[in-house]
C-alpha cells in the first residue's frame, strides 16, 4: 500500500485505504521503521530508498495494484473532503493508475490550473500534458475535441512562460487550438488563438504574418467585445513596428479601455500592463522620451498592484529597454537586475534575455560584450529575431566603446 502511494504517506491514509484497524497499521509501520525500511518525514513517512519502494511495488500483481490505487484515491478524498485542492495531483495519479481515466483527466486539469495560478508553470504543463494524453484516448467526437481545446487553451500561458513566444511548442499548441476552435465554431477562442499566433510570429520577426493574425483577431472581436482589448493590443504592436505610430497609440489606448483587469491574454500577460509597457516604445519613437519613461513606470506599478509576476516581467523588460534608449544607465540596470532575478525565480523565458543584454550594455567593456553575446545567443536559440537588430547594435556599440582590438568586428556587427 505504501509503495503504491509513492512518497510522503501518512498513517491516516494507510489506515483509511487499507481497511485495517489503527493498531495493526501502527504496528506494521513501527516494524518497518525499526528495520530502516521506512523513515520519518515532517508530514508522515517515506521509504528509506527509492529502490526499496520500487521493489515493493514490483512485487504487487497488476490487478492488486489496480485495487490499491483506487483505495488510495478514495482514502485521499475521504481524508481531505472539501480540501481536495491540496491533493489534486495525487488524486489524478492514483485514479490514472487505478484505471479511472475519466476522474484522472478531471483531477490532472484541476491540479494544472492550481499550479498555473501560482506560476508553478513546469508542474502545470506536466499535468496538462498527461490530461491531454488521456483525452486523446477517448472516442473521437465533439465532446473529445471540446475537452482537448479547453485544456490546450489553459496550457498556453504556462507553456509560453517556460519556452517563450517564439518556441515551437507554444506555436504548435496555438495552431492546434485555432484549428479546433474554428471547427467547433467557438469564435471567442479562435480570436484568442489568433492573438497568440500574432505573438509567435511577431517575436519570430515575421511582422507581416503577425499583422494578418492581428487584423483577423480584431475582425472577430466585434462579436466578442470582452476580448477586444487583446486584439487591439496585437494590432498596436504590429503598427508600431511598421512605423504607423499614431495609429498604434490609438489602438494601445483602446486596448487599455477594453481589457478587463482579471483576464490575461493567451500568452499569459495582463493586456492593460503589457499594452501600456509596449506603448512606451511607441512614445519614444514619436520623440517623447519623458512620457515613455513615465509610461514604463506606470506599467511596472500596475503589474505590482495586480501581483502578477509574468506581467511584471514584461513591464520590467520594456522598462529596461526604454531606460537604455534614453541612456539612463541607473534606471536600465535597476530594471534589468530585477527582471533577471524575477525570471530566474519563476523560470520565465524570453524576457530574461532582454535583461541580460541591457545589463551587458550597462556594464560595458569586455565583460559587457560577453554578457550581451550571451543574451543574443540565448535569443537566437529561442528563435527571437524581432529585436535582433537592436541587440546587435548594442553589442557593436559596446565593442566600439571598449576599444575592440578588431574594429572590423564591431562594424560587421553593425552591418548585420
What local confidence, expressed as pLDDT, does residue 262 receive? 63
Q: Where are the domains of the chain?
A: 2-114
Count Cβ neighbours within 10 Å for each residue of 169-205 and write b for 16 or more, e otherwise: ebbebbeebbebbeeeebbebbbbbbbbbbbbbbbbb
Give yes or no for residue 261 having a pLDDT over 80.
no
Q: From CA 239, how far away is CA 257, in angstroms rounded? A: 18
**186-197 pLDDT tens trace:** 999 999 999 999
What local confidence, expressed as pLDDT, does residue 322 receive? 98
Candidate from 69-73, 174-178, 254-258 with smallest mean pLDDT: 254-258
Confidence of residue 222 (pLDDT cuts 50, 70, 90): confident
Among all chains, which residue has been given the C-alpha cell 540596470?
Answer: 333
Give yes or no for residue 170 having a pLDDT over 50.
yes
- HSE, CB side, 13 Å, CA atoms: give it for residue 56: 18
Number of Cβ atoms within 10 Å of the Cβ of 3: 18
Q: From CA 273, how far away is CA 311, in angstroms rounded? A: 6
Residue 233 · residue 278 · CB < 8 Å: yes
Give yes or no for residue 218 having a pLDDT over 50.
yes
Which whole number is the average pLDDT over 23-31?
Answer: 94
SS3 42: coil
Q: From CA 1, how far away is CA 4, in angstroms rounded? A: 5
What local confidence, expressed as pLDDT, does residue 223 receive? 74
What local confidence, expressed as pLDDT, does residue 415 receive? 47
H-state helical runs in 137-270 = 142-163, 168-183, 187-204, 207-221, 228-241, 245-258
To the question of pTM greater than 0.85 for the whole model, the response is: yes
SS3 119: coil
CA distances to 2, 169, 325, 377, 396 from 370, in Å: 52, 29, 21, 10, 12
Amino acid at each position: 500500500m505504501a509503495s503504491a502511494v509513492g512518497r510522503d504517506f501518512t498513517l491516516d491514509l494507510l489506515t483509511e485505504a487499507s481497511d485495517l484497524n489503527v493498531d495493526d497499521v501502527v504496528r506494521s509501520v513501527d516494524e518497518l521503521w525499526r528495520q530502516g525500511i521506512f523513515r520519518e518525514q515532517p508530514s508522515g513517512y517515506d521509504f528509506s530508498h527509492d529502490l526499496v519502494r520500487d521493489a515493493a511495488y514490483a512485487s504487487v500483481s497488476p490487478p492488486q495494484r489496480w485495487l490499491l490505487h483506487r483505495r488510495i484515491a478514495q482514502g485521499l478524498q475521504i481524508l481531505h473532503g472539501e480540501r481536495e485542492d491540496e491533493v489534486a495531483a495525487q488524486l489524478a495519479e492514483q485514479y490514472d493508475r487505478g484505471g479511472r481515466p475519466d476522474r484522472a483527466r478531471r483531477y490532472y486539469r484541476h491540479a494544472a490550473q492550481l499550479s498555473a495560478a501560482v506560476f508553478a508553470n513546469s508542474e502545470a504543463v506536466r499535468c496538462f500534458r498527461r490530461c491531454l494524453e488521456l483525452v486523446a484516448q477517448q472516442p473521437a467526437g465533439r465532446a473529445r475535441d471540446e475537452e482537448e481545446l479547453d485544456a490546450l487553451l489553459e496550457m498556453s500561458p504556462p507553456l509560453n512562460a517556460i519556452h517563450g513566444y517564439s518556441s515551437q511548442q507554444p506555436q504548435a499548441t496555438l495552431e492546434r487550438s485555432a484549428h479546433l476552435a474554428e471547427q467547433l465554431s467557438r469564435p471567442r477562442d479562435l480570436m484568442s488563438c489568433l492573438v497568440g499566433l500574432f505573438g509567435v510570429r511577431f517575436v519570430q520577426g515575421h511582422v507581416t504574418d503577425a499583422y494578418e493574425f492581428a487584423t483577423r483577431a480584431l475582425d472577430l472581436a466585434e462579436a466578442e467585445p470582452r476580448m477586444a482589448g487583446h486584439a487591439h493590443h496585437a494590432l498596436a504592436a504590429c503598427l508600431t513596428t511598421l512605423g504607423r505610430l499614431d495609429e498604434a497609440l490609438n489602438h494601445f489606448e483602446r486596448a487599455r479601455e477594453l481589457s478587463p483587469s482579471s483576464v490575461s491574454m493567451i500568452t499569459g500577460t495582463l493586456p492593460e500592463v503589457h499594452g501600456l509597457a509596449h506603448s512606451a516604445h511607441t512614445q519614444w519613437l514619436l520623440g517623447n522620451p519623458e512620457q515613455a519613461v513615465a509610461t514604463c513606470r506606470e506599467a511596472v506599478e500596475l503589474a505590482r498592484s495586480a501581483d502578477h509576476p509574468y506581467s511584471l516581467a514584461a513591464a520590467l523588460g520594456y522598462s529596461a529597454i526604454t531606460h537604455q534608449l534614453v541612456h539612463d544607465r541607473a534606471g536600465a540596470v535597476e530594471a534589468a537586475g530585477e527582471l533577471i532575478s524575477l525570471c530566474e525565480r519563476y523560470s520565465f523565458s524570453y524576457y530574461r534575455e532582454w535583461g541580460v543584454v541591457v545589463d551587458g550594455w550597462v556594464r560595458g567593456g569586455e565583460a559587457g560584450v560577453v554578457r550581451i553575446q550571451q543574451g543574443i545567443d540565448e535569443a537566437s536559440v529561442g528563435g527571437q529575431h524581432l529585436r535582433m537588430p537592436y541587440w546587435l547594435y548594442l553589442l557593436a556599440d559596446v565593442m566600439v566603446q571598449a576599444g575592440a582590438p578588431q574594429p572590423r568586428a564591431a562594424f560587421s556587427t553593425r552591418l548585420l
